[in-house]
Amino acid sequence: MAIWMHELRLLLRSRMASIALVLLALLSTAAVAAGMAEMARQRAAIAAIPAAQAEDVAAIATHVDRDKDAGNAAYYTFHPTWDAPATLAFAAIGMRDVAPYILRVRALGLEAQIYDGDTFNPELALPGRLDFAFVLVFLAPLFAIALFHDLKSGEREAGRARMLGALPGARRLWLRRGLVRFGLLLAALSVPFVIGAILSGVAAWTVLLVVAVAGAYLLFWIGLAGLVSRLGHGSTANAATLAGSWLVLVLVIPTLANVVINRAIPVDEGAKIALAQRENVHHAWEIPREETMRRFYARHPEWADSPPLPQGFHQKWYYAFHQNGDESVADRVKAYRQGLERRAATADALGWLLPSVGVQALLTRLAHTDLSAQLTYQDRIRAFHRRLREFYYDYMFYDRPFGKADFAKAPRY
């Protein structure tokens, strides 16, 4: 034990090593705190939904109760949906930084409402918001390089390498020094995360898995430093070589790979799908109403027994062509989703070759902040919207009055 404490004191005597460890601990703490603050803000926004929704519905109900028109109730009432963050989301914010986690929808055409915010392909290879995943993937390697680039070359340049090599158990000496540096690096990086995870209620096995992933990622860079040191160059050359390796492996190759993936797997923009849906909806004003209803009833025969359209405007015709507009872009929506999933799968496969990409993808998957989680949220929105439509259609298609009391019967997300 005494010899381990001696190695620890020897390392901490180095001002550069001490500053590096303290700085890494501060960065990790700041990232964890920032992630927890962001998730607290998102949870607070979600928690505020019921009160705001009740106020909105009360105002709309007073207006709608005058003519008891279900179409007006459906048109003016926005229904909130939300995607509550997982307990680990603070550590890897992922797509929650670029995709909506709260979306208010109406019973009108859904696709334009979803894709107004668009769904971004997760940039697994690019820097993002400061969170624990960012510090681990992009910054921690630099600290590993700082502590390990001169592990042996520094002793050689100080003239002590031959003497240390001649001592009994010389290999254990280098192993012990390496383990001390690795342990301190992992502690500086992981202790703030573990504290944040405990406060956030993350499951113990998930905490252990993330710490294990962080340790494995550090070991990759330590191993790379060991390989570079075997070339026999000086400390400065080792540091430059490792810094160049970091630049290539963490930034250059992942960024180029992301560009290649996006070009190899072209994906239509969500905004274009929203525009196409709106164009189809607007076109319905220019075609005979009977054509719109025939198309709607062909896909939804359960409403075909409703009374025929009267003269003039009728709400069921209006909502029918919104539904037709959604269905007109269904193939594009499917292709868009499949394209995003193929891009994500290709990026995940790249993670087996590039540790930086693999670690970031794994953390966002564990935190439920990846593309899959966002698409799952969209699926829940679509299921809820289907219930909304059927609820309002039951009033509109059979001309049933819709009063104040009926607002409480509407589906809840």
Lowest mean pLDDT among 110-119, 128-137, 218-227: 110-119
Residue 154: pLDDT over 80? no
Query: Please, what's the b/e burial string for 106-115 (b: 16 or more CB within 10 A of its CB; e: otherwise)?
Result: bbbbbbbbbb
Structure tokens that stand for 144 in this block: 């590993």
Q: Which residue has the tokens 């949220």?
A: 377
- Rounded to 5 degrees, what angle do the CA atoms 204, 361, 127 make? 115
Q: Where are the domains of the chain?
A: 2-31+130-264, 51-121+267-407
pLDDT per residue as tens digits for the range 330-365 = 999 999 999 999 999 999 999 999 999 999 999 999
Q: Tell me, rounded to whole angstroms, the distance of Cα 63 from its chain centroid.
A: 40
pLDDT in tens, 234-286: 888 889 999 999 999 999 999 999 999 999 998 888 888 988 999 999 998 99
What's the pLDDT score for residue 125?
A: 38
Write out pLDDT tens, residues 390-404.
Answer: 999 999 999 999 999
The answer for 94, left when phi > 0, alpha when psi is -120 to 50, beta otherwise, is left
SS3 62: helix
Question: pTM for the complete prediction?
Answer: 0.89
- Tens digit of pLDDT for each residue in 50-90? 999 999 999 999 999 999 999 999 999 999 999 999 999 99
Per-residue model confidence (pLDDT) at position 129: 76
Contact 393, 71 (CB under 8 A): no
Gyration radius of the chain's alpha carbons: 29
Distance between CA 246 and CA 141 in Å, rounded? 7
Residue owning tokens 């003497």: 163
Q: Does residue 402 come out as left (phi exceeding 0), alpha (psi in the -120 to 50 range) or beta?
A: beta
What one-character DSSP code corresponds to residue 84?
Answer: P
Sequence-separated (6 or more) residues with CB below 8 Å from residue 282: none
∠269-270-273 over CA atoms, to 5°? 100
Question: Would you give the DSSP letter of residue 68?
Answer: T
Q: 């997760």: which residue's tokens? A: 122
Show the DSSP H helices in 65-203 as ranges.
Answer: 70-76, 110-115, 132-134, 140-148, 153-157, 161-166, 170-200
Instruction: Report the percent of the chain where pLDDT is more than 70.
Output: 89
